[in-house]
Amino acid sequence: MSLIDPAPAQLTDGGLPAELIAEAAEVGPGVGPYQLAWRRMKRNRVSLAFGVLFLLIVLLCLLAPVYSHDIAHIGPDAENYGTIKVGGKTENIVSLIGIPIGPTWELGHYFLGADENGRDVAVRLLYGGRNSLEIGAVATLITMVLATICGLLAGYFRGLTDGIISRVLDVIWAYPAVLLGIVLGTVLEVHGLGPFHGTTLLSTALVIGFVYIPYVAKPIRAQVLALREREFVDAARQQGLAHVRIMVSEILPNVASTIIVFIPLMLANAILTEAGLTYLGAGVQPPNPSWGTMISQGINNIPAAFSNVLVPGIMLVLAVLSINVFGDGLRDALDPRAKIRLGKDTASVGELSH
Partner 1 sequence: MARFVVRRLLVMVAMLFAISLVTFLLFIVALPNGNPAALIAGRLANPAEVHLITVRYGFNKPIWVQYIKTIANIFGGTAYSYQSYFNVDAEIEAGLPATISLALGAGVIWLLTSILFGTLAAIRAGRYTDRVLTVLSMIGVSMPPFFFGAILIYYAGYKLGLIPLSGYVNITNPAQWLWHLIAPWITLSILFVGIYSRILRSTILDTVNEDFVRTAKAKGLSQGQVLRRHILRNSLVPIISLWGLDLAQVIGGGAILTESVYSLHGVGYLAYQSVSHLDTVTLMSIVMLTALAVVVLGALTEIFYAFLDPRIRLQ
C-beta closer to partner 1: residue 190 or 242? 190
Positions 183 through 212 that interact with partner 1 (CB under 8 A): 183-184, 186-187, 190-191
- How many residues bind partner 1 (CB under 8 A)? The answer is 61
Phi, psi of 84 (to 5 degrees): -130, 160
Among 176, 286, 287, 336, binds partner 1 (CB under 8 A): 176
Of these, 94, 270, 316, 334, which contacts partner 1 (CB under 8 A)?
Answer: 316
Residue 99 lies near partner 1 (rule: CB under 8 A) = no
Q: Does 297 bind partner 1 (CB under 8 A)?
A: no
Q: How far is the CB of 87 from partner 1 (least distance, A)?
A: 26
Q: How far is the CB of 310 from partner 1 (least distance, A)?
A: 8
340 binds partner 1 (CB under 8 A): no
Q: Which is nearer to partner 1, 182 or 247 (CB)?
A: 182
With CB under 8 A as the contact rule, the residue among 127, 255, 298, 333 that binds partner 1 is 298
CB of 161 to partner 1, least distance (A): 17
Stretch that binds partner 1, among 66-74, 88-96, 113-121, 299-307 (CB under 8 A): 299-307
- Does 301 contact partner 1 by CB under 8 A? no
Please report whether residue 139 would count as binding partner 1 according to CB under 8 A.
no
Footprint of partner 1 on this chain (CB under 8 A)? 1-4, 6, 8-11, 167, 170-171, 174-176, 178-180, 182-184, 186-187, 190-191, 268, 272, 275-276, 279-282, 295-296, 298-299, 302-303, 306, 309-310, 313, 316-317, 320-321, 324-325, 328, 338, 341, 343-344, 347-351, 353-354
